[in-house]
Amino acid sequence: MIRIRVTDAAIDVAAELGALERAGGGAVASFTGLVRDDNGVEELFLEHYPVATEKALSDLAAEAIQRWSLAAATVIHRVGAMTPGERIVFVGTAAAHRAAALEACAFLIDRLKTDAPFWKRETRGQDARWVGERDSDRDAADRWKR
Amino acid sequence: MAAIDLLYFAWVRESIGIGHERATPPAEIADVAGLIDWLAARGGGYAEALGDKTRLRAAVDQLFVPLDASIAGAREIALFPPVTGG
């Protein structure tokens, strides 16, 4: 079962975990990313490439389900304007056992960062700037290549 | 060559000033890099956004591609910076 959502609404983690727990596995793992207050960020704006984003996330979820024999995978990403502390991304997996659930969860968030067309813009006072690519994100995604 | 939908995102969109347009590149333009050079030659915000190809990524018909990818038959080409989601 794959659940993908790109939304400007708040992410309900409890509801998403509940759905994963009903998927029939013995293990559920999840990752929640929050907007950081990096050096006084007041607003984080998320832009995306509609349709291409959903396709990229669906492809990643399908790969994770096949590679780790998951019962379910959920990827939810916020777009639009957010403030520090808000949930920006949720990744959840359900599998028979913990190793598959945990590994697949790490795979999904690592690869999402390099494969899905989202862009972040940080605003501090009057200064708005687009976030640049990070080599550490590239390295984290590369470790899942095989 | 038929008209192509061009999409721009993030600072590429902001520099050019629009997120979408339709354009018909000359037939001799074969790949994404050639398309970028052709657009950058318009000057102004196009030159600013598209002058340095090392800062750009692309998708042809919603598939991520290297800049030497062919644009033959493409219906939609997106130009954007490296992605920063998650």
Q: What angle do CA A82, A94, A1 make, to 5 degrees?
A: 85
**Residue A13: pLDDT band by 50, 70, 90 thresholds?**
very high
**How many cross-chain Cβ pairs, A to B, lie less than 8 Å apart?**
70
- Residue A17 backbone phi and psi in degrees, to 5: -65, -40
Contacts of A127 in chain B (CB under 8 A): none
Contact A117, A52 (CB under 8 A): yes
CB-closest option in B7, B62, B83 to A119? B83
CA distance B29 to chain A (A): 25
Alpha-carbon distance B75 to nearest alpha carbon in chain A (angstroms): 14
Element housing A28 (H / E)? strand A27-34
Domains of chain A: 2-132 (3.90.1170.40)
A75 by DSSP, 3-state: which?
strand
Residue of A119, A130, A136 to mutate, testing the B interface (most B Cβ within 10 Å of its Cβ): A119
pLDDT at A122: 97
Asked whether this complex has an ipTM greater than 0.85, the answer is yes
Q: Give residue-wise pLDDT tens across range B10-21.
A: 999 999 999 999
Residue A85 to chain B, least CA–CA distance (Å)? 14
Quick: pLDDT tens for B3-51. Answer: 999 999 999 999 999 999 999 999 999 999 999 999 999 999 999 999 9
φ, ψ for residue A50, nearest 5 deg = -50, 150
Packed helices A98-115 and A52-68: angle between N→C axes, nearest 10 degrees: 150
**Strand, helix or coil for residue A3:** strand
pLDDT at A134: 87
Of residues A138, A99, A106, A131, the one with CA closest to residue A31? A106
B-chain residues near A116 (CB < 8 A): 83, 85-86
pLDDT at B2 over 90: no
Q: Look at residues B40, B75, B45, B48 and name the one whose alpha carbon lies nearest to residue B60.
A: B75
Question: In this predicted model, what pLDDT tens digit does every residue of A34-61 receive, in sequence order?
Answer: 999 988 999 999 999 999 999 999 999 9
With contact defined as beta carbons under 8 Å apart, do B85 and A77 qualify? yes
Phi, psi of A30 (to 5 degrees): -150, 160
Count CB-CB contacts under 10 A for residue B42. Answer: 12
Between A41-45, A140-144, B74-78, the lowest mean confidence (pLDDT) is in A140-144
In single-letter form, the type of residue at position A77 comes to: H
pLDDT band at residue A63 under the 50/70/90 scheme: very high
Strands B57-60 and B20-23: unpaired
User: At CB < 8 A and 24+ separation, what contacts does A134-140 make?
Assistant: A134/B84, A137/A110, A137/A113, A137/B86, A138/A114, A140/A110, A140/A113
Q: Which residue has tokens 């095989």?
A: A146
State the Cα torsion A21-A24-A26-A32 to the nearest 10°: -30
B85:A49 CB<8 A: no
pLDDT(B1) > 70: no
Comparing B1 with A104, the larger pLDDT belongs to A104
